[in-house]
Amino acid sequence: MEMFKSCILCPRNCGVDRTTAFGICQVSDKVKEARAALHFWEEPCISGNNGSGAVFFSGCGLHCVFCQNEEISHGKVGQEITIEELSKLYIDLQDQGANNINLVTGTHYIPQIIESVTIARKDGLTIPIIYNTSGYETVESLRMLDGIVNTYLPDFKYMDPNLAAKYSHAADYPIVAKAAIDEMVRQCPFLEFDDEGFIKSGVIVRHLLLPGHVNEAKSIVQYLYDTYGNSIYISLMSQYTPMAHIASEYPELNRRVTKREYDRLLDFALDLGIENAFIQDRKVAKESFIPEFSNSLN
């Protein structure tokens, strides 16, 4: 595809010719998929009992230092598949009983996602498409997904550009994420659920609480509520798990979030008047909840 010859799909705008080299995302112009399986650890309105049809893409343009999916974010694992094979994965997951198709970190494959979803819908795909993202997206790329995506599931990681620079090498993250979420809400302005309580359309914004950063989390929750009220869901996550390299490189992040820290954030959200929220049991902060990635389909 022509746009890969000077790729600016993500906010890094690296302009690399991905037909001959890797971009910052660490992948070429070929779709590289690391895992496709029913996934049971999303919000209840996404996973339910049957599971979400999660397709994990290799590569990422953000590269957070605390990433729990390092194996795939650096493009180290996965197998190259065609657009037709990708569309068939969606149908296979639907046949397995998936509530939805959950596209995880697909920014650098947006053109192929559009084509594969279009093919799959012609072939009988009827379940919703969820776009699961770091929140580091350009408005221009998101506009390409208008009519393709039913529900957006972005992170909002930082309000402070200094933290964004330190932990994700992206000082512009707060500005970029705000604009991206605005576009997502423009496309999917109303929360809609089916008769069984599964989300059909809307925006759910996630925030992963980092140890020692309750005030940062509060500022994000405050911004989201001031801007969108209860027209979106806010998912407050306590599952942060320090990876092996964190101890030496970022010692301040080398622990899990305490009950007191998470309770402070929940109390703040309740005091604001937030009605549409998801919260987590702190027991999910375990490495066992990180999917195992491989070069084969599951």
The residue extents of the domains of the chain are: 29-289
Q: Which pLDDT score, from 0 to 100, does residue 295 have?
A: 34
pLDDT at 291: 39
**Gap between the Cα atoms of 125 and 119, Å rounded:** 9
**What is the rounded distance in angstroms from the CA atom of residue 92 to the CA atom of residue 22?**
30
Q: Please state, in angstroms and rounded to a whole number, the distance separating the CA atoms of residues 233 and 277.
A: 5
Q: How far apart are the first and last CA of the chain?
A: 29
Q: Which residues contact 265 (CB under 8 A, 6 or more apart)?
A: 209, 214, 217, 218, 221, 236
80-108: pLDDT as tens digits: 999 999 999 999 999 999 999 999 999 99
Give pLDDT tens digits along the chain (298 positions). 789 999 999 999 999 999 999 999 999 999 999 999 999 999 999 999 999 999 999 999 999 999 988 878 887 789 999 999 999 999 999 999 999 999 999 999 999 999 999 999 999 999 999 999 999 999 999 999 999 999 999 999 999 999 999 999 999 999 999 999 999 999 999 999 999 999 999 999 999 999 999 999 999 999 999 999 999 999 999 999 998 889 899 999 999 999 999 999 999 999 999 999 999 976 654 433 333 433 333 3
User: Measured between alpha carbons, how far is 298 from 277 in angstroms, rounded to an integer?
Assistant: 31
pLDDT of residue 77: 87
pLDDT at 271: 97
Tokens representing 199?
């989300």
Whether residue 220 contacts residue 164, with contact meaning beta carbons closer than 8 Å, is answered with no
pLDDT the model gives residue 69: 83
The model carries a pTM of 0.94
For residues 85 and 31, what is the distance between their CA atoms, to the nearest angstrom? 10
Q: For 29-289, CATH number?
A: 3.20.20.70
Return the pLDDT at 92. 98
Sign of the C-alpha dihedral computed for residues 9, 20, 119 and 89 taken in this order: negative
Quote the DSSP letter at residue 158: -
d(CA 221, CA 268): 9
| Burial tier of 122 (Cβ tally within 10 Å: 0-12, 13-18, 19+) | exposed
User: Cα separation of 8 and 16, whole Å?
Assistant: 8
Please give the pLDDT value at position 52. 98
Q: Give the residue from 150, 131, 155 showing the smallest Cα distance to 201.
A: 150
